A and B are shown apart, each in its own frame.
Chain A
Amino acid sequence: MKKIFLFIIIYLLINLGFSANEFLVVKVQTTALRAEPRFFAPVKIMLKFGDQLEKLDFQQGWFQVKTLNAVSGWVHSSAVQPRPAKLAGLTQGPKTQATASEMALASKGFNRQVEASYRQRHPEVDYTWVDRMLNFKNGQAAIEKFLKEGHLGEWREAK
């Protein structure tokens, strides 16, 4: 009798666990898929805006996910959002990421086109420094070195 109970419970757990395969979508320009749920873990691949991910687990601000090409790893929760209904369906067929038209659909709103339209009306507003400041980027290695030198973050105890 105990065996039957155990079987039922295991079956229920498996069934519930696998039936609700949730999908997430990358909402930032680029983010890393990491080997572990922390920022300084090795990067497996880079993900880009609109990439779809199957949710496997959640742990303290990090989602464990699998890409449509079956690469699994961890992404920070601030880089993803639940997949909008309008993007469902793209997991079928060829294992590619969202098509250009679908992404255009996803990004309708205050976007590049609206900025272009605003700039046409206001040619006096200069975006040179805005574009320049966006290039001030530091890679993971530079940030890690900076934190280590300052005894900060994961390296704060090392005195």
Chain B
Amino acid sequence: MSREKIIALLSLVFLLLSSCASLQKKGQEILEKANQISDKDKELLLKTGEALRSSFQDLTDEEEYYLGRSVSALILSRYKVWSNEPATNYLNLLAQAISLYSDRPEIFAGYHVLILDTEEINALSAPGGFIFLTRGLLRLCPHEDALAGIIAHEIGHISARHGLQAIKKSRLLEAFKLLASEAAERLSPEKMAQLTDIFEGALDDIIIQLIERGYDRKAEYEADSLALKTLRRIGYSPQGFILFMDELIKKESRDKEKRAITFQGWLRTHPDPRERRKRLETELSFWKEEMEIFRGRTARFEKMASTWK
């Protein structure tokens, strides 16, 4: 190709690109001027936006938070809160520090932890950043690194929106359709009642999954992988999480002999700790992580642990 032809071609590309850019700019300018968009166009845009929503991933962070608030209130109607201020503060500090190294450090209203006053061994999380740890579970933790693993696992469930996955698709589609059909700023009382029905159904779906059925195995293993990733970034020993699985296995066999009920909730909602341990070890074998647990963390953990023993 001759030099003249190259210049001609480049000039053409240049002209085309600059006209695209100016067109783009023009379009943007039109959109930027609110007074140039009629109310009818705004309505249309809103309707199109709502109609485009189709799955739990399309719920906004704010909607996730409002679902999570009510799910949490329902969890708390089944359990008593253990109001131990120093321990609760410590766990919130731990969770909020860990969250900064997770895949989703920022969430609508932040991450928060509450202790449930029960011997039962369990950890639960509601969408939107609400984490619940039982006193029985805390007693089983040998060190801060194990506790960090459990919290990182719950943050994994929240950041991957596992709780919201439980909502029946037909319910979500019904909600999105209803919202798309209403252009006014506030819903009519009739539409609000319908949306509240759907909200109530969604809460049932999530609660059944959290308390009765548990997440599916795939979600549990995904939360374990996310936890290892987070632990590695923040610098907790991922082996601490594996040692917690060992504690679970030991406790499980002890309780089986005594036929205790402390484990039933956990077993119903979580995969076998032996299987989880095996998978975690396989993942860790690729990382060659150090086992070392920093002593400075042991002191503060033991001080707190003395309050829940």
How many contacting A-B pairs (Cβ < 8 A)? 199
B31-39, B219-227, B259-267 - the one binding chain A: B31-39
CB contacts (< 8 Å) of B88 on chain A: these are 136
CB contacts (< 8 Å) of A109 on chain B: these are 59-60, 62-63, 175, 179
Q: Does A41 contact B (CB under 8 A)?
A: no
Q: Does B130 contact A (CB under 8 A)?
A: yes
CB contacts (< 8 Å) of B46 on chain A: these are 86, 105
> B34 touching A93 by the CB < 8 A rule?
yes
- The distance in angstroms between the C-alpha atoms of A126 and B80, with both chains bound, is 12
> A28 touching B106 by the CB < 8 A rule?
yes
CB contacts (< 8 Å) of A138 on chain B: these are 92-93, 96-97
Secondary structure dominating the interface of B: helix
CB contacts (< 8 Å) of A121 on chain B: these are 196, 200
Q: Does A70 contact B (CB under 8 A)?
A: no
> B77 touching A126 by the CB < 8 A rule?
yes
> A149 touching B296 by the CB < 8 A rule?
yes
CB contacts (< 8 Å) of A153 on chain B: these are 97, 100-101, 234-235
- The distance in angstroms between the C-alpha atoms of A121 and B201, with both chains bound, is 13
> A15 touching B21 by the CB < 8 A rule?
yes
Report B164-191 residues with CB < 8 Å from chain A CB.
175, 179, 182, 185-187
> B45 touching A86 by the CB < 8 A rule?
yes
Chain A residue, CB-CB nearest to B189: A117
Chain A residue, CB-CB nearest to B199: A114
> A110 touching B199 by the CB < 8 A rule?
yes
List 12 additional A-B contacts (Cβ < 8 Å) besides A86-B42, A125-B77, A133-B130: A27-B60, A28-B107, A89-B33, A89-B36, A110-B67, A114-B195, A125-B70, A136-B88, A138-B92, A143-B97, A150-B144, A151-B294
State the B residues within 8 Å of A (CB): 3, 7, 10-11, 14, 17-18, 21-22, 24-25, 28, 31-37, 42, 45-46, 49, 59-63, 66-67, 69-70, 72-74, 76-77, 81, 88-89, 92-94, 96-97, 100-101, 103-110, 112-114, 130, 144, 175, 179, 182, 185-187, 192-193, 195-196, 199-200, 202-203, 234-236, 294, 296-297, 300
